[in-house]
Structure 1
């Protein structure tokens, strides 16, 4: 009954920091960057100070005529201001629409059209840089976090405004809109309610509680426009955990920061953890105190898990992997310990949360799904979004009697574990699982920092590789690694920085394949 009651109340983003401050007013939030909304606040603040900042910004938004139920697009530089603005917008009953700083201006304009004349909150650098002039026609109003523009209202100028009380919207009302990764085209706008976000919060909180029983510092490098950040913040803030929020994942900077604060929990994207493998060899031992590594987005390479766990000096550290999607939240979970080596089966992403999520694999051709004949992965979850904004038909096409098609293919083992083999659009006929082969290559070639297997123009599997410090690939080591694996073309080496990525650092495989084809045609 308790879990049901919590789920029915709905998560309340607008008062999240205020409620956390009432429980743990002296708890601290540490940033690796300055806030545009409050440059004088510094990089270390109490949760009570942050709650005051959110309430102040909400009052300024109200003064700027933002009202309950209205859409407010947030498209600014990549800072924690995005998250605080989302909470402030929610506090006045409006609906934040969070668009990644990585999106190009034309994409932002198209997503604003779907939001039907929203308010736009941005900053001078973004407004004068990537955004087209049409945003002024698409927006009900344009608001700046700092600075000035002739056609915009500066929130910084709205000082001394009357403090407004928080507006509580019904739990089934939209409370947050985020966009999908856009790995297969133009992003979709996913509509979350208070109830669906609370349903995502519940299993994650229950998964953490048996593992972390005392107060630990948690460090996060999660996209500021992703729904995962809000559930992670809610768990940490309401438990009184000190929080470190990172915008920069550069390993050298992170190593220095972690060496000083000694986090006990790390939350990051899989590709971020891959970059942080080098921290395992740092003499300052920045990962020594980590008890729990948490990754919520995609399957992660076993080599990365192995190296990070070996870098911890805690008695029994865990790596928690949650497989899910923007549309449904986390659906299955798997925990790794030090006992699993770098050759462990990384395609097994775990099992559902009992009583909260479920998963099935549906045949693609009438034959039972198996490793050699993977089927469509479908899930049930109360955390599923309610629609795609402006595209309800597209949303309905992915639903079948309450089951949500993930767009991935795989199978379930005889023990019930879900094995993720590929994205459906990334399948290469006759090759097998590209993800499994990538796992094998990572385990065998230590110098690799990324390997993506994509179809070439003639359908042949082409491995695109990146190496540490962009050093030339050791071809002899490569030939030894690919022995016994499915046939592939010769590897193509790229700089990691040149790979097309989403807001959550996933590689856009279809875009990479297109660029590779174009590059081949130009030579």
Structure 2
């Protein structure tokens, strides 16, 4: 990864990258980039990090505004032999502080806005690293160990450092829906050879084509962005589009200027862009492949985007996996497979099958860890060679999730006789005798005005539906009709999107909602494998 851009430039890759705003590390370079220019930028950034004091084997923390240049900075650190750790700047200040304490970085790369926000919350990030490199003017505050790009520009670039494929290469973090995110350590073997290499194949009908416009709207500090960067560049599409501002109005302008043929986005972004998919002139008319990861997708959203494409057979690829393992199974949805509206058991909970020869899955009894019979619910465990090396600073927690080589995903589900995976819930969120995620699918399907439904639980209480609508209101008769045949639920609480606490990838923090709305301190499940 340290020389990825250089190798692609040497191969003559002619991909043009279009940004919705300039890089924070090179605002003067504008929004359009070629691969040789990106390779030059990675080399320069490696020189900056070396000048700031980063050395082989040391850690470089990257905590800045969301942009693809976080991945470029990570590649620059890898080139030096340092270990980059990407942390979302949108996390609460106390969480960022805790993660940086675990990392103990030699160099912190950040921006003025992040420093100002965390200082207002009583946290000085500059005291958690030996040296801080601020990408813009750092503003008021302690400056003894703060450098700017002007201070390190022009430093001689060290030659690429070669590390063993099994050594730690990059640290990213989990979404943190159940508390403080875990720092996940991956190697070249697990992330590049096992995940990115498989993805960098021109699979028939689904693989990236030379004339594609590949658009990514993501949280670029997560491991998926690092893996995607490797595969996307190696497949060399004509254009790559990077979206960092998910506001529908501003995103629409970019999408119309660079109409995607393949689009990958956070589930929360797809939800926010749903109105853009309506009408006959949507910016998604050319899309033949939609892809979602990170979180469950509900039928109305999938249906809306597939309908927005003018292609004859557009496909939605829904992946199930984790930061620790990468994808574990895939399901390809079509217009036909999501055509039934309001079905009691929606097809979006069926997550396909594991990749033969790459991933093995089992459903096991949570108490005995013995495999359950086909079709019966259990904890889903996986065996895969792409499993991460551990949790930085919490290795005992990582080891507790491994049993005889099988990784405990913490998800509840079932596996059919043919190997098809059906997801029920996260174990920590599981309410006895029902699937919260499935009920959310049904409710969203039956009530078009619902943007998102979240069913949260607490010990000894009825499951509470939290219904997100545009104006925070819900029609009671329509609600009663929609849930008449569903298991007993508490009276719903209607909120607006902005009222719901979320992670950096847009996932709802269900436990915070439960604590606030149910006055609950415990969780429905045990939470042993979160």
Q: List runs of 5+ in structure 1 lacking aligned partners.
A: 1-12
1:101 matched to which residue of 2? Answer: 89
- Distance change in 2, residues 1:481/1:324 (3 Å): same
Shift of 1:214: 4.2
Moved more, 273-282 or 435-444: 273-282
Structure 2: runs of 5 or more not aligned: 341-345, 521-530
The one of 42, 47, 72 equivalent to 1:84 is 72
Deviations 1:182-226 (A, max 9, x none): 111211111010111021113333485542344200111111111
Match of 1:218 in 2: 214
C-alpha separation between the residues in 2 aligned to 1:27 and 1:357?
Answer: 32
Does residue 169 (structure 1) correspond to residue 176 (structure 2)? The answer is no
Question: 1:364 offset after TM fit, Å?
Answer: 3.0
Aligned length: 506
Distance in 1 (alpha carbons) for counterparts of 2:198 and 2:351: 16
Distance 2:127 2:244 in 1: 31
The aligned residue for residue 386 of structure 1 is 389
Paired with 1:220 and 1:211, the residues of 2 have a C-alpha distance of: 16
| TM-aligned CA deviation for residue 139 of structure 1 | 1.3
- CA offset digits 1:322-357 (Å, max 9, x no partner): 100011110111111121124441111110011111
Q: Which range moves more in the overlay, 248-257 or 260-269?
A: 248-257
* The 10-residue stretch of structure 1 (143-152 or 305-314) with the greater mean CA deviation from structure 2: 143-152
| TM-score where L is the length of structure 1 | 0.92
- Residue in 2 that maps onto 1:364: 366
Q: What CA distance in whole angstroms lies between the structure 1 residues aligned with 2:459 and 2:493?
A: 14
Give the TM-score normalised by the residue count of structure 2.
0.91
Query: Is contact 1:333-1:350 (8 Å) kept?
Result: yes
> By how many angstroms is 1:256 displaced?
2.5
SS, match of residue 106 in structure 1: helix
**Alignment map for 1:189-204 (pairs within 5 Å):** 189-198=183-192, 199-204=194-199
Correspondence 1:413-424 to 2 at 5 A: 413-424=416-427
Pair 1:471–1:455, CA change in 2 (3 A): closer
CA RMSD of aligned residues (A): 2.1
Secondary structure, aligned partner of 2:114: helix
The answer for the alignment partner of 2:343 in structure 1 is: none
Which residue number corresponds to residue 500 of structure 2?
A: 499
**Is the 8 Å Cα contact of residues 334 and 350 (structure 1) preserved in structure 2?**
yes
Check the 8 A contact 1:320/1:334 in 2, yes or no.
Answer: yes
- Does 1:446 pair with 2:438? no
SS in 2 for 1:274: helix
Instruction: Report how far residue 365 of structure 1 moved.
Output: 5.6
Q: Which moved more, 1:277-286 or 1:401-410?
A: 277-286
Residue 476 of structure 1, CA deviation = 2.1
Structure 1 range deviating more: 453-462 or 490-499: 453-462
**CA displacement 1:465-518 (0-9 Å, x = unmatched):** 111x32522222211110101111111011112211112211111111112235
Partner of 1:9: none
- 2:241 aligns to what SS in structure 1? strand
Work out whether 1:188 is the aligned partner of 2:191. Answer: no
What's the counterpart of residue 8 of structure 2?
A: 20
The structure 1 residue matched to 2:48, chosen from 60, 69, 87, is 60
Matched-pair contact (CA < 8 Å) for 1:306–1:340 = no
Distance 1:77 1:192, change over 3 A: same
For 1:86 and 1:71, locate their aligned partners in 2 and report how far apart those are by CA, in whole Å.
11
Who is 2:19 aligned against? Answer: 31
User: In 2, Cα distance between the equivalents of 1:207 and 1:491?
Assistant: 46
Distance in 2, Cα, partners of 1:410 & 1:424: 9
Query: SS at the partner of 2:352?
Result: strand
Question: What is the aligned partner in structure 2 of residue 7 from structure 1?
Answer: none
Q: Distance in 2 between matches of 1:408 and 1:297?
A: 13
TM-fit CA distance, 1:173: 1.1
Q: Does residue 260 of the first structure (1) align with residue 251 of the second (2)?
A: no
Instruction: Indicate conservation of the 8 Å contact 1:37/1:156, yes or no.
Output: no
Deviation at 1:424, TM superposition (A): 0.4
Aligned pairs for 1:481-520 (under 5 A) are 481-517=482-518
Measure, in 1, the Cα distance between the counterparts of 2:148 and 2:241. Answer: 28
How far residue 457 of structure 1 moved from its aligned partner, in angstroms, is: 7.1
Indicate which of 441, 465, 468 corresponds to 1:466.
468
Q: 1:240: Cα distance to partner?
A: 1.3
Describe the SS at the equivalent of 1:407.
Answer: strand
**Is the 8 Å Cα contact of residues 303 and 342 (structure 1) preserved in structure 2?**
no
1:282-297 matches, cutoff 5 A: 282-297=279-294
Q: How far, CA to CA, are the matches of 2:133 and 2:367 in structure 1?
A: 52
Distance in 1 between residues matched to 2:376 and 2:124, nearest whole Å? 48
Deviation at 1:282, TM superposition (A): 4.0
Looking at structure 2, the residues matched to 124 and 280 of structure 1 have their Cα atoms a distance apart, in angstroms, of 36
How far apart are the structure 1 equivalents of 2:380 and 2:91? 28
Worse overlay, 506-515 or 392-401: 506-515
Structure 1 residues 255 and 396: alpha-carbon distance in aligned structure 2, compared to 1, 3 A threshold: same
Secondary structure of the residue aligned to 2:482 is helix
Whether the aligned pair in 2 keeps the contact of 1:71 and 1:119 (CA below 8 Å) is yes
How far 1:78 moved relative to its partner? 2.0
CA contact (8 A) 1:33 1:43 kept: yes
Shift in alpha-carbon separation, 1:102–1:505, aligned structure 2, 3 A: same
